[in-house]
Structure 1
């Protein structure tokens, strides 16, 4: 069963015929809008990206750049549906344990060499190779690729991975268990192809602008760490004729308010709106202030590892802290951008997910506060014996506002003394990953649109379970969900266990709250994963 209809293919082909003439006339081939002479898209990022190596990148902003530089088997359209990438389509065996992807014969690397199925085999073996120790190797295991778990554990050679290239245009993937949403997972950076010769020649320096060879719609032409990165059109890209944006600049601006000032001065086409400012900006600039649901959650995680603080081993302490958080103050007064309060880990925006009833959600805040005081007293803490701990977050004005609000709520209601610490992004990821914290900010954006992308995070083997929470029942339910025809009851039970044991404090679910210049065409506001591709955007003449 393939996911490409014949009319769609015909339309795509017709589209490529149209474009070169239409662009010459300075109008968009489909919408007929007049195009700006300067097709540069400039946007703000909070931090330097973690990496531009598809098998190493682990953050959202890094993945945005990687999606432009590299192209995987499948892409997403503006609604988040699968569309062809390097693969023109795929077929699944009846039992959904084998997927065969057909690769296009005109895909090229930026050095002009063809992209072949072997480039994917190399990249996927690389992702599970313990020598690379990819922060996303667990994702390959989650994809149920045959032998991935054993290879990651160092028990099998990488050559045993269930992926093969019978010829240059065919990639065959064998799974250890059926996974109906497997193709959706191939839009993720970890699965993108990698240029073996270039990596072998330059080692970790292969992603520098002077060395990098990539197969996406753009090439990296400049990178000044902590300042900016620039990507420009890749003339070798198979669909270069349909690309309109010529140049994309990502500017690192650590301060949300500075970024907004630079947006107002016309230096940026897109920036996040600082906490609390959406209502005013929406009233003043309704065309440019946007808010839409996103597939991301914002939470704080307890360090439940052996090295974690003794106090957090007590479920009453964890529940008391979670209950005393007035989420409404955070979503309505601090953020004010349309973010929903979170009492479950998985956002309501997730495809096919029914938000389960959890006790805390149906209580009033006064009832929650009362219960929090009782639980904390039961755990032996109160005005005479205050609970003390430290909490960390990555440097950002908005994260700081939330951390301060949490610590004040806990102090006023429960007499808790929480010490705040902020860290630069890379240090923060490292400290959190090494369990060098007591309570830490966490956020997760779905890697694909299905509840397991969130709930798998809190299973024992997950690479991003930084609090080291472990519950055998949760692990078993999530294992069962991978092959279940009806996952609803399983996910409901997992969420109810999490609400009972409170290994993390869910605070809110994200909205995309941006200032987006009205001359930017085709921003995919209906794609809740916010997987955007510069090749699909365009600048309208003002």
Structure 2
């Protein structure tokens, strides 16, 4: 090899070694950029030769951190009882389901009008018995992987992407008629839909004939058309169509996982959020569904929801004070100080929820209506709202609140607080001044606020009836445990005599109160009521098409339950209008019906993050 060639070769090798040495260095983040460089080599023979050499040059770039997702932070004092739309019956579950699943229709938060969701339009037959819904077909079924963080669209056995169809609604609604689910809300939809009650009440639930299931009045002529047939022209049916009980659900996922289909990693959803994490009794996390059609995204900017379980409201309120959650209930002991210090960060939320004492009518001594009337009339609702609730509510002496179609005026029906009437009723039942009255149990859900409530009741019954606190044994359980303890299927010997509970509206009609809670034929009849003339009138009222006649019927029904001679299956106490601590950086339009629409909530992230520093 000539000397000139050796010189050129040595130079190329040196340049190559420099390049290789540079590529091997560890850096935080390296962007390799190929550069063409012209090298001029002067040879001994003084002849210039141009040689193009490729070298690799490092460009070190400082990593740009990913932006923090806009995060809504909550706390809860209980785990989620279920995420199954057909089974859910409590506000904790329903709030989650509202954001994980789409429904047939939705509520406008400002007007409470029914607006499109999966159904873009609908037709009602002249006789009011057939509803035809026209569905959009671009809503994907998705599964989220909590490990990888990836959300992907579900595919069928042939690899085709799955979208929500009318058949998914047919499956969901027919599933709601299945008695084996044990769903409270089955009894709410069953009376309306053709064939549903026959399946729900079939004498052998394990062996329901397929022809009965096939006869349920819901069908899908094609993937974008859903037809529902009613037993009677229920004028309020359209207002029920946003309900979770009639939501589409993924049959293939339920068939594969059974009861575990709702767990993180298994659950298949179609809503604005996906379930990223559910550590039972500890925490749940939702993330925005990136595959949701853009026009269904909602008006809010929330990208992530984190809800931690805490033992009580006091613990949650401490998190609010430390700017770790956006909203909080306010402990009774802290309310006045809070109102003085944080008036600008306090809102009052009238959610139309009515709270009451339920009575087990089949468990002595509350099998006697005079005892039930006595305990109801001996409770001073006005004093309770002012002193214990600190003004957060309105006293109630019948069930349905203002704002519900068919509800009587708030002060015109029912006995309410009448201590003399209460004493006479208890004496007529054989217990003058509570003499000889047996020990009974009053069960409340956990938390200091409820404890204040039931301790107040103890004192009221001692003052106005002469019943020693020892006679009224109070207990507390989690909300989920209380629901189980008071279920209609729980034997009387295991059930409490009385319990605390509240009912918030699912749709704006009186039938949702006396019909869906008190009607004797509800499988969820916690009071174990026997059927009376009031129940006949409930059926007549829900089938009546004349609104004026319906209003008159519901007034009669409320009087039959809560008047001086009323059955008194429960003691209505107050309509909740709660103070809520809410930081100024959150915009939270509240829902009166159904679950909270977190997809319409917004956060000023800059203000939120500044407060957290």
Query: Which residue in 1 is equivalent to 2:100?
Result: 69
Do the aligned residues in 2 keep the contact of 1:276 with 1:336 (CA within 8 Å)?
A: no
Cα deviation, residue 334, structure 1: 0.8
Which residue in the other structure is 1:489 paired with?
Answer: 552
CA gap 1:538/1:471 in 2 versus in 1, 3 angstroms: same
Matched, 1:381 2:431: yes
- 1:236-385 paired onto structure 2 within 5 Å: 236-239=291-294, 244-275=301-332, 277-305=334-362, 308-309=363-364, 311-351=365-405, 353-355=407-409, 357-358=412-413, 360-361=415-416, 368-383=418-433, 385=435
Q: Distance in 2 between matches of 1:327 and 1:162?
A: 45
Provide the C-alpha distance between the structure 1 equivalents of 2:524 and 2:451, rounded to a whole number of angstroms. 22
> 65, 70, 92: which one pairs with 1:39?
70
The one of the two structures with greater contact order (alpha-carbon pairs below 8 A, sep at least 6) is 1
Residues of 2 paired with 1:466 and 1:101: CA distance?
34
Which residue of 1 is the match for residue 456 of structure 2?
405
Normalized against structure 2, the TM-score is what?
0.78
Aligned to 1:233: 288
**Which of the numbers 442, 447, 466 marks the counterpart of 2:506?**
447
Structure 2 residue 244 is the aligned partner of structure 1 residue 206: no
Change (3 A) 1:74 1:496: same
Distance 2:102 2:313 in 1: 30
Q: 1:171 aligns to what SS in structure 2? A: strand
The 8 Å contact of residues 300 and 504 in structure 1, kept in 2 or not, is answered as yes
Greater displacement, 531-540 / 207-216? 531-540
- Does the 8 Å contact 2:91/2:595 carry over to 1? no
CA-CA distance at 1:74 after TM superposition: 0.8
How many residues align? The count is 496
Aligned partner (choices 572, 589, 598) of residue 524 of structure 1: 589
Asked whether the equivalents of residues 355 and 492 of structure 1 are also in contact (C-alpha less than 8 Å), the reply is: no
Contact 2:96 2:595 in 1 (8 A): no
| SS of structure 2 residue aligned to 1:427 | helix
State the structure with more CA Rg. Answer: 2
Query: Structure 2 stretches of 5 or more lacking a match?
Result: 1-66, 143-151, 154-161, 204-208, 608-613
The aligned counterpart of 1:54 is 85
Match of 2:226 in 1: 171
Unaligned runs of 5+ in 1: 1-35
The C-alpha deviation readout for 1:93-146, integer Å capped at 9, x for no partner, is 11211111111121111142211100000111111112333232112214x011
Counterpart position of 2:575 = 509
Residues 1:384 and 1:51: Cα distance change in structure 2 (over 3 Å) = closer
User: Structure 2: how far apart are the matches of 1:40 and 1:184?
Assistant: 32
CA deviation digits over 1:227-278, x for unaligned, max 9? 1111101112123655521011222223111111111111111122223644
Deviation string 1:469-489 (CA, Å, 9 cap, x unpaired) is: 234211111111112212111
Q: Which moved more, 1:369-378 or 1:293-302?
A: 369-378
- Relative distance call for 1:316 and 1:211 in structure 2 (3 A) is same
Q: Is the 8 A contact 2:272 2:599 kept in 1?
A: yes
Q: Per the alignment, in what secondary structure is the counterpart of residue 313 of structure 1?
A: coil
CA RMSD of aligned residues (A): 1.9
Alpha carbons 1:349, 1:528 under 8 Å: kept: no
Q: CA offset at residue 84 of structure 1? A: 1.4
Contact 2:397 2:414 in 1 (8 A): no
Secondary structure at 2:180 match in 1? coil
Separation (CA, whole Å) in 2 of partners of 1:349 and 1:250: 31
Give, in angstroms, the shift of residue 517 of structure 1: 1.9
Q: 1:313 and 1:135, CA in 2 relative to 1: closer, same or farther beyond 3 A?
A: closer
Distance across 1 between alignment mates of 2:394 and 2:220 = 45
In 2, Cα distance between equivalents of 1:463 and 1:252 = 31
Question: Tell me, what secondary structure is at the counterpart of 1:333?
Answer: helix
Give the match for residue 94 of structure 1: 126
